[in-house]
């Protein structure tokens, strides 16, 4: 029997497929995460993330300039302090001369308002135990003591020139505390990109190498359990009530259902973070010739957009933005 309805008609030619495509990536959708390290003379490759490096301040400026010229929507900066500068409370995080704040300052000087400069607002890069907060005597992450550190770090980052702060430690109340502190200091234009629904994920593995973190234990008492869905909505509602300007889901590819759920309830832009392990999986499979690298990258990013994220953090931001332009 010949079918009367033939969906394949709309797939017959590239032009037809282009006409009916519902989602397309724009360069400005893409945000480039970057690592800046203290005490190195040359950019240092990250073994588990081929193509990504820890930058010197010089190479950071060059790569940032290249990304902005390719049309990316923004830059998200992470700091990698020297091992000997790490301590229990992450003192390097709110030190104006800490590596992340120095990196923000040079980029703010170079780029001004020509891009959106974002900072990871979290202690794990700066603590010697690798946790996202300070520990209480029993070794657990102390929520409320950590908030004080986030407030201090936020003010330092805002003063260093970040347009958006990215609290990523999953402490309760972090958005409200940071918002109140920024406002009290007159920093009302500094926004908050909240890592609202952030899951405890095995896919962060390569990031630990990227920031030289030697995490003791895991993050399961603060990051969400991958078994849970409604908890993500609760976290997002809280962050919206606390004044988040953008909400983010992380990781992206294993959590596209969550991206969709959040997109349906959020009245602020939704971001998703295609994290280190997602980058490494595609890179490794492509290196072996098992998948088509460029096609896999575009498919993964388009899927995140289709799920409902209008902003995507990806280590391929510059490359993809340049190709799209
Ligand atoms: C916390 C933070 C992490 C990432 C971004 N911010 C690590 C973690 O929560 O364990 C992961 C990013 C990636 O894997 O690409 N500072």
Q: Which amino acid residue places its CA nearest to atom 12 of ligand 1?
A: 275
- The phi and psi torsions of 244 (rounded to 5 degrees) equal -65, 140
| Number of C-beta neighbours around residue 302 at 10 A | 16
Taking the centre of ligand 1 as the mean of its atom positions, its distance from the CA of residue 207, in whole angstroms, is: 6
> 9-27 pLDDT, tens per residue?
999 999 999 999 999 999 9
Question: Three-state DSSP class for 79?
Answer: strand
Q: Which residue ranges have their beta carbon within 6 Å of ligand 1? A: 120, 122, 124, 132, 168, 204, 207, 219, 275-276
Is residue 229 a contact partner of residue 259, using CB atoms and an 8 Å limit?
A: no
Q: State the closest ligand 1 atom to the C-alpha of 125, by its place in the atom list counted from 1.
A: 16
DSSP assignments along 225-278, one per residue: PTT-SHHHHHHHHHHHHHT-SEEEEESSGGGHHHHHHHHHH-SS-EEEE--HHH
Containing H/E element for 58? helix 57-70
- Three-state DSSP class for residue 44: strand
Locate the ligand 1 atom nearest the alpha carbon of residue 205 and give its number.
14
Active-site residues, by number, are 198, 250
Contact predicate 244/265, CB 8 Å? no
For the cut 90, the answer to whether the pLDDT of residue 216 exceeds it is no
Structural domains of the chain ordered from first start:
24-324 (3.20.20.70)
The ligand 1 atom at the shortest distance from the C-alpha of residue 275 is: 15
pLDDT number for residue 110: 98
Q: Determine which residue's CA is closest to atom 6 belonging to ligand 1.
A: 168
**ipTM of the prediction:** 0.97
> pTM for the complete prediction?
0.97
Rounded distance from Cα 1 to ligand 1 centre (Å): 55
Pocket test for ligand 1, best of 124, 130, 133, 218 (most atoms within 8 A of CB): 124
Q: Which residues are 54's β-sheet partners? A: 35, 44
Residue 210 near residue 52, CB atoms below 8 Å: yes
Tell me 56's DSSP state.
Answer: P
- Looking at the chain, the whole-number percentage of residues with pLDDT higher than 90 is 98
- Tell me: the pLDDT tens digits for 231-277? 999 999 999 999 999 999 999 999 999 999 999 999 999 999 999 99
CA of 200 to the centre of ligand 1 (A): 10
CA 2 to centroid of ligand 1, rounded, Å = 53
> Does 214 have pLDDT greater than 80?
no
Write out pLDDT tens, residues 59-82.
Answer: 999 999 999 999 999 999 999 999
């Amino acid at each position: 029997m010949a079918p009367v309805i033939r969906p394949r008609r709309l797939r017959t030619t590239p032009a037809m497929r282009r006409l009916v495509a519902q989602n397309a990536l724009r360069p400005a959708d893409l945000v480039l995460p970057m690592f800046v390290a203290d005490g190195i003379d040359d950019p240092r490759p990250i073994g588990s993330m081929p193509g990504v490096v820890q930058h010197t301040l010089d190479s950071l400026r060059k790569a940032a300039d290249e990304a902005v010229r390719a049309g990316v929507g923004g830059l998200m900066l992470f700091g990698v302090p020297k091992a000997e500068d790490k301590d229990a409370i992450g003192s390097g995080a709110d030190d104006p001369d800490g590596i992340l704040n120095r990196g923000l300052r040079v980029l703010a000087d170079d780029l001004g308002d020509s891009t959106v400069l974002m900072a990871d607002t979290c202690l794990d890069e700066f603590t010697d135990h690798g946790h996202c907060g300070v520990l209480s005597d029993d070794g657990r992450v102390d929520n409320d003591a950590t908030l004080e550190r986030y407030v201090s770090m936020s003010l330092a980052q805002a003063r260093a020139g970040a347009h958006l702060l990215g609290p990523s430690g999953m402490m309760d109340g972090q958005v409200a505390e940071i918002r109140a502190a920024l406002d009290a200091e007159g920093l009302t234009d500094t926004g908050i990109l909240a890592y609202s629904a952030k899951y405890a994920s095995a896919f962060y593995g390569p990031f630990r190498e990227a920031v030289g973190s030697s995490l003791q234990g895991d993050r399961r008492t603060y990051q969400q359990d991958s078994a849970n869905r409604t908890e993500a909505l609760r976290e997002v509602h809280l962050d919206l009530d606390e004044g988040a300007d953008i909400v983010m889901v992380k990781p992206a590819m294993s959590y596209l259902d969550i991206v969709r759920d959040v997109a349906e309830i959020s009245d602020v832009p939704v971001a998703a973070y295609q994290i280190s392990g997602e980058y490494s999986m595609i890179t490794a499979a492509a290196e072996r010739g098992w998948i088509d690298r460029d096609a896999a990258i575009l498919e993964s990013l388009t899927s995140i957009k289709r799920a409902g994220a209008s902003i995507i953090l990806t280590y391929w931001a510059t490359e993809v933005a340049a190709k799209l332009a």
